[in-house]
Structure 1
């Protein structure tokens, strides 16, 4: 790949928006790519993937170049050197010495927080909570995320979808652990495909696709998804219920539920009702009304850094502590919506025990035997996909 000046400037602009102005990487990439419709697929892919890669390795690249934190040209040049992309003879790159950068890289291989490119506090937290496992999980979190589709079984099957996508030159592979999942063999924009517009699939990581089946759903049940967001798991629940029964999708943000409504129409998921959580009264009115309850609670997101690498630079220890408190509030208050005998899944996209099994233990300790833990499971980033935790609890009384 040859580096052209307009492509380089697009990457620099994106990095400035992400680091200089604190914008979310996915929104930045979307904005930057819209600016020049003449860019071909190869150029657009280079801009997106290079930007994400520099964000992912931000600390390492800054350390190797020994430059200020906002010298994005030096970081781009260093990235080119490490990836064997010919370095143009531009003024911005004149000070970079490939031999020196390679020497510094060898030096910092022994310092995990720099070589794996994470803030000091996060490296410390990971080691405290995961011990020796942190090495492999952190390394996996720096890999590029796979693009995974979830077949909408209300309208088609994974086998039929795979064949249909192949007609559009989209090659996919199946997964034994997630029967509705198809993994793209090559990254591309799937949102332009006719199959997406027809509602035949959603983009959803394989680990995320494990949550809804973990709920032990049966058609006809009344299900509450109490932290639904834009509804990825809600739509999966609808497909497993075969559009029978009722799903109440709740969230504190109305705009997220509006997005869910659009997605539900496209998917032809007809058994979903949305409700904004305006106060504690919204939850109290639903006491003992659900056969199944999903609490996919807000979390640090430390299991999904593959696809959100900018999050590790935006997170803070204070945020993680605040989100733990919010998780306890949600599980203790929202559990009352479950019927006696009903099942509740508590899940996060974090890999930290303090947000996962420790939260479940705290909850059970306060419930005086009203709930018991039936099963818990982890999806680890080292397994190839996102990191998730899920616990299945039963209400006894």
Structure 2
């Protein structure tokens, strides 16, 4: 593959912002791609995928590179993939044999998997023998998964429509609303997306709303809705009948929920910012179904957000665990007796998952609940993101 100076420079500038200015990879890439509207799809794909991959393998690249020079880092990454570098002055001092030999002699798992030492230790302690394969799977590029908006189109009809535009998809087994792109591409420009016929949502994430067993006419609260992806799925499962209250402590996120609901042809979603404890108290025992898709470390979605592992710390994970338990304790009061609550994370750590549920069930607030079932979704087993989904029922009043 031939390298072009302007594209490599764009990658290097993006890496500088992410590595040295601690910016979020997705925001940096978005800004870089907007900076030159003349770039075609192939150029834009090269920039985005290269930047994400360099972020994913940052520690390994820095270990193998002869220096911290940004062009040396890019060149090292390029040589790691058995590609040939052009004879540019920026790449002087890079020797493929030296990099290859250094890589072959490496036996440190944390460096090989390009993760912090503390994360390797924590993952190994909590997941045991499954950790090595799991982190290896999470270092692979994620597939693009669509969730069909069944309010507007069937899965087969959408598949045929995309195929007519040479977009091939396949049907993953066990996910009734999912289509997976056979080849990664920017699907957001397709007319079918603008018509609200699908959303981009990983297959594991699609399991969350399904676990609630929400039915048409119910009153459902999505208490940590964010931009509303699971609220949209719930509304579709409910056939746009009933009410979905989409809540979040950050009101600006709920603006996206409004826009997405309009595009999806959904009328039952009511965005409601959480402005304090009074917001929760007003909804006491009002929901037939309650979704707590709580903030988490995000370790189950490292394939999509590889810069997460460089922003986390043991302290940040401990802090988010405190938030998770607080949400369980306070928000669970919004569920009616006899109702179903789902606690979910996109983490693979038991300390954020089953341990949190067990702590809740042993507390005074959790005495009214019973665990019906839980599912620990590992990327190595599902082929999709890592998730945890616990389904709990609140005992009916006597």
The runs of at least 4 consecutive aligned structure 1 residues that moved more than 3 Å come to none
The question of 1:162 aligning with 2:159 is answered yes
Which residue in the other structure is 1:144 paired with? 141
Give the superposition deviation at 1:43: 1.3
Alpha carbons 1:3, 1:86 under 8 Å: kept: no
Alpha carbons 1:225, 1:247 under 8 Å: kept: yes
- Give CA-to-partner distance per residue, 1:66-100, whole Å, 9 cap, x none: 423xx221111011112233201111211011011
**C-alpha distance in structure 1 between counterparts of 2:70 and 2:318, whole Å:** 32
Alpha carbons 1:181, 1:206 under 8 Å: kept: yes
Which residue in the other structure is 2:375 paired with? 377
Alpha carbons 1:294, 1:346 under 8 Å: kept: yes
Which residue in the other structure is 1:7 paired with? 7
Equivalent residues in 2 for 1:235-274 (5 A)?
Answer: 235-274=232-271
Among residues 94, 100, 116, which one is paired with 1:102 in the alignment? Answer: 100
Q: TM-score when scaled to structure 1?
A: 0.98
**C-alpha distance in structure 1 between counterparts of 2:12 and 2:302, whole Å:** 21
SS in 2 for 1:131: helix
Equivalent residues in 2 for 1:30-69 (5 A)?
Answer: 30-68=30-68
SS in 2 for 1:217: coil
- Give CA-to-partner distance per residue, 1:151-176, whole Å, 9 cap, x none: 00010011000001111221111112
Equivalent residues in 2 for 1:268-283 (5 A)?
Answer: 268-283=265-280
**C-alpha distance in structure 2 between counterparts of 1:72 and 1:346, whole Å:** 42
- Give CA-to-partner distance per residue, 1:350-379, whole Å, 9 cap, x none: 000000000000000003631100000022
Among residues 223, 228, 232, which one is paired with 1:231 in the alignment? Answer: 228
The question of 1:135 aligning with 2:132 is answered yes
SS in 1 for 2:203: coil
- Give CA-to-partner distance per residue, 1:89-119, whole Å, 9 cap, x none: 11121101101111111111x2100000001
**C-alpha distance in structure 2 between counterparts of 1:58 and 1:66, whole Å:** 14
Q: TM-score when scaled to structure 2?
A: 0.98
- Give CA-to-partner distance per residue, 1:29-78, whole Å, 9 cap, x none: 1110111111121111111111111100000011011423xx22111101
In angstroms, what is the RMSD of aligned CA positions?
0.9
SS in 2 for 1:2: coil
SS in 1 for 2:290: strand
- Give CA-to-partner distance per residue, 1:112-167, whole Å, 9 cap, x none: 00000001111111011111111010000100011000000010011000001111
Alpha carbons 1:379, 1:388 under 8 Å: kept: yes
The question of 1:205 aligning with 2:209 is answered no
Unaligned runs of 5+ in 2: none
Alpha carbons 1:126, 1:134 under 8 Å: kept: yes
Alpha carbons 2:66, 2:72 under 8 Å: kept: no
SS in 1 for 2:188: helix
The question of 1:87 aligning with 2:92 is answered no
